[in-house]
Chain A
Amino acid sequence: MKNRALWIVIPLLLWLGLEMVSQRLDQGSYARAAWYEGALDRSRSGPIDFIFIGTSRTASAILPHVWEKEIREATGSTVHCRNLGRAFSGSPAHHFGLRELVQRHPETMRDCTVFIETTHGIPTFVERWEDKWFFPGNTQLAVDYMNRSDLWRYLRGPHDFESKAGVLGRYLGRFSNLVSGRRQLQQQFDWRVNRLTKRALHALGATEPETSGAALPAHRQLRQDRAGIALQRDLVRERTSPDILAAQEPLLPWEHRVVCQTVEMLKENDVEVVFFEMPAPSYVDIVNGTEVRRADRHAFAEWRTQYGLPLLETDLEVDDEDFPDLSHLAANRIEDYTKALARAFVKSPGKRSTSP
């Protein structure tokens, strides 16, 4: 009897304790508070004037405080900016997050402008509902703000059994941070222990890596070691292989892409939307220079014009040296880029008035 009680009491206490620890660990740029959860919290207490959504490139290249300062200096208004760009996020995750914001705080969102990342005039997010909703291991990004009908849609969709079971498990485990937030915990743990190990190695006199050229921004925990950069560069090179380019499929019709449906949802709720051009290294010219992509770009421009959505471009000049891993803008260029984008926004004819 005593033995059975131990098997109930100990796991329960241990679980609760670890659940509390995991809540405390949920901090930093991977934490929920740094994403839509933070934006929802902010919406309760004050306005959000600008929201940026995109991939890790947006996450690392847009500095909200620089943007706020530039806008304040140009317009005299105090503004609040949120960078909700996120590594491994996809359009369904942003769709659900923005929908949550619009539904829970419609008044706040009416004064907000949402910026969506594009590359060469094509949105970076091009998924359809029947495509994958998340990158492997990042299920929670899509599940966090999923509602029951989204879940049902996913379960009925053409997705494989493994991912359906994963989504269902994660959806049902949303009450527990250990279950639903485990990827963030993993990243947190990895980041913290890595930092400690580096300190220990430093104390032991380990050598610093030889650095050459520009560095990546540190604030979004991009991999900065040579291995990480080499892997990323290799991944990027694969995208320009003739086989991959030959297999490119048209993205038309744009109405079927989740990102366009997100725009429609935002427009229906009187939220302003602006597409912004993210600087890219020269390899992207090859990827987006194919006939298929040229047609896609043209069609997207038409779709955008139909909705009166501007595409913001900057006068910032970049070359391949500014992309240490061939993906993300170097640390020494991100401030310039944020400023250039803010200037371009201020000059653009369609800009909205900001909150006083």
Chain B
Amino acid sequence: MLFNTWTFLTFALIVFGLYYRLPHRWQNRLLLVASYIFYGAWDWRFLSLIWLSTIVDFVTGRAIAGEVDPKRKRLWLTVSCATNLGLLGVFKYAGFFAQSFADLAGVFGWNPGIVTLNIVLPVGISFYTFQTMSYTIDIYRGRLSPVRSFEDFALFVAYFPQLVAGPIERASHLLPQLVEPRSVSRSQVREGAWLIGWGLFKKAVIADNIAPRVDEVFFAGNDWASGGACLLAIYGFAIQIYCDFSGYSDVARGLGKLMGIDIMRNFQIPYVATSPQEFWRRWHISLSTWLRDYLYIPLGGNRFGGLQTYRNLMLTMVLGGLWHGAAWTFVLWGFYQGALLAVHRWFVVDRVAGAGTSGAGAGAARKTHPSKEKPGWARLPRAVLSWLVMFHLVCLGWLIFRAESVGQIWSFLGRIFTGPGLRIDEAHLLWPLLFFGGVLVVVDAWIRNADDPTTRPGWNRGLGPIAVTALVVLALVFWPPRIQQFIYFQF
């Protein structure tokens, strides 16, 4: 059941119609049943995986909290992590690793005769397994008390607005909101309506209108596209994936607000980033903070400095890449992102800012960095250059992410650098990018990611109604002929 369908609209109307009439406990029961219906609409068989994850983490969470012996606490945590990672391993990665092993063996002339089962990937498995793991890990770390009600916990795992494509919520943030009675304020209704509307617009109008053009160029076996078309397809994919994913997150947050529930922000205008570090503070925030808190920091983070920090960065990002999908292009993408972070850290943080000092000295050097002393206008060229470089580095990452094969990455790069011109018959690739990309830039620059657009300048002086009507008309006219699945559902 996709957000941009009539089926979901009907489902949501029924759920909200009942929700506002029910007391708190029954609201949670309603949401739990609705969440299972929502998920079961894809494939009811995979509900069993959600139930397994729910039961195991509820039980292990209580067991960890009830144990005094650290070894036994660790044992219960291992059970929880092994179950969740085991589900991911079997349903997401088993086929990939088996096939990769068979391919590698084939290089050496050995045929291991591995039978790869074509297991269907359960929608959203990477999201809810990470979400439930954060619950048991936080209890283990003593940062969270186990929830008493199984119903509330089951709802935390399966809460439908963010079940299949995030944001990956933290138990410490979402669970208290589910446990306590909720009310919905007028501002939440306003924010919810805006987030749902703008989120759907980004997904259905911007992402889905650009997608066919991007697919056309990335189409396997395509060797006719010029370098200019390849470049446009990469820019197009940058817009598409942002609008597709942030659109989903916005709708999820908007639905939450209409229920009086705050879901964490997942995007913060990521393409304005001027460094890899900043990009990951703005892109898929719920995953990057999850990886930071539950992988990077436990690995040692930057506490030991030097090579260990780089190793931790690389390891975190490669696993982050693999989280996205079982394919070598995702591993390569993770490696690329890790390398960007490592190089940036080496060049800007350790080398330039540190200026040969370390520890507290580095912090002092950072404070007195000469660029900080310049007036705003003087910093502009450097900021623009940094942004331009970073944006293209991100785009290079998207090429790796989107490519059908590793060979296609080289093919695209070769064409871009040898013949960057656009042919006249490829004009149809250009205008959707300029038009829909333009709408995105204008609205994002004005609203600045605010949940409540009425706080933005001009909204109450006529710009609000003009913008909303224009967006409604654009949505009516450009609603795509075919409903496209959200990209992140496959993860």
Instruction: Name A residues whose Cβ lies closer than 8 Å to a Cβ of B.
Output: 3, 6-7, 10-11, 14-15, 18, 22, 136-138, 161-162, 165-166, 169, 178-179, 182-183, 185-186, 189-190, 193-194, 196-198, 201-202, 206-209, 224-227, 230-231
Contact = CB atoms under 8 A, between A and B. Distances in A.
Nearest to A168: B6
B68 interface: no
Contacts of A162: 5-7, 483
A179 B476 contact: yes
B469 A206 contact: no
Contact of B424 (A209, A227, A230): A209
Contacts of A225: 425-426, 428
B480 A208 contact: no
Among B7, B224, B460, B464, the one with the most A-chain Cβ atoms within 10 Å of its Cβ is B224
Contact of B473 (A178, A190, A226): A178
Nearest to B470: A14
A231 B248 CA distance: 29
B482 A136 contact: yes
Given A7-B464, A10-B469, A207-B421, A194 B483 contact: no
Interface in B437-476: 460, 462, 464-466, 468-470, 472-473, 476
B431 A193 contact: yes
Contact of B425 (A165, A189, A224): A224
B1 to A, nearest CB: 11
B425 A209 contact: yes
A194 B431 contact: yes
Interface of B: 5-7, 10, 216-217, 219, 222, 224-226, 421-428, 430-431, 435, 460, 462, 464-466, 468-470, 472-473, 476-483
Contacts of B431: 193-194, 196-197
B470 A161 contact: no
Given A14-B473, A193-B435, 6 more contacts: A6-B464, A14-B465, A183-B481, A225-B426, A226-B224, A226-B425
A137 B480 contact: yes
A14 B481 contact: no
Given A137-B480, A179-B476, A227-B225, A198 B424 contact: yes
Contacts of B479: 182
Contacts of A224: 425
B421 A182 contact: no
Given A15-B469, A197-B431, A231-B219, A209 B423 contact: yes
Main secondary structure of the interface of B (DSSP, over half): helix
Main secondary structure of the interface of A (DSSP, over half): helix
Contacts of B427: 194, 197-198, 201
Contacts of A185: 477
A291 B217 CA distance: 38
B478 A186 contact: yes
24 contacts: A7-B465, A10-B462, A11-B469, A11-B472, A15-B473, A136-B481, A136-B482, A162-B5, A162-B6, A165-B7, A165-B10, A182-B476, A182-B477, A190-B428, A194-B427, A194-B428, A197-B427, A201-B430, A208-B423, A208-B425, A224-B425, A227-B224, A227-B426, A230-B224
A215 to B, nearest CB: 11
B226 to A, nearest CB: 8
A260 B7 CA distance: 34
Among A14, A15, A185, A196, the one with the most B-chain Cβ atoms within 10 Å of its Cβ is A14
Contact of A178 (B224, B426, B428, B476): B476
Given A185-B477, A189-B477, A193-B435, A6 B462 contact: yes
A81 to B, nearest CB: 30
B422 A10 contact: no
Nearest to B465: A10
A201 B481 contact: no
A194 B427 CA distance: 6
Nearest to A9: B465
Contacts of B430: 197, 201
A7 B5 CA distance: 27
Given A137-B481, A162-B6, A14 B421 contact: no
A238 to B, nearest CB: 14
Closest 10 A-B residue pairs measured CB to CB?
Answer: A137-B481, A165-B6, A225-B425, A10-B465, A197-B427, A11-B469, A209-B425, A198-B427, A14-B469, A193-B431
A90 B228 CA distance: 37
A231 B482 CA distance: 17
B464 to A, nearest CB: 7
B424 A231 contact: no
A193 B431 CA distance: 7
Among B6, B10, B424, B426, the one with the most A-chain Cβ atoms within 10 Å of its Cβ is B424
A319 B226 CA distance: 30
A225 B222 CA distance: 13
A223 B477 CA distance: 21
A195 to B, nearest CB: 8
A202 B226 CA distance: 16
B417 to A, nearest CB: 17
B222 A230 contact: yes
A206 B232 CA distance: 15
Among B5, B225, B468, B476, the one with the most A-chain Cβ atoms within 10 Å of its Cβ is B476
Given A190-B428, A227-B216, A230-B222, A207 B423 contact: yes
A11 B480 CA distance: 23
Contacts of A6: 462, 464-465
A198 B475 CA distance: 26
B366 to A, nearest CB: 45
Nearest to A184: B477
Contacts of A194: 427-428, 431
Given A209-B424, A209-B425, A224-B425, A137 B482 contact: yes
Given A6-B462, A14-B473, A161 B6 contact: yes
A257 to B, nearest CB: 25
A7 B6 CA distance: 26
A251 B155 CA distance: 50
B476 A11 contact: no
Nearest to B435: A193
Contacts of B6: 161-162, 165-166, 169
A292 B442 CA distance: 56
A207 B462 CA distance: 45
A207 B421 CA distance: 8
A162 B430 CA distance: 31
Nearest to B229: A227
A231 B219 CA distance: 9
A186 B477 contact: yes
Contacts of A138: 481
Among A18, A138, A201, the one with the most B-chain Cβ atoms within 10 Å of its Cβ is A201
A179 to B, nearest CB: 6
A315 B360 CA distance: 90
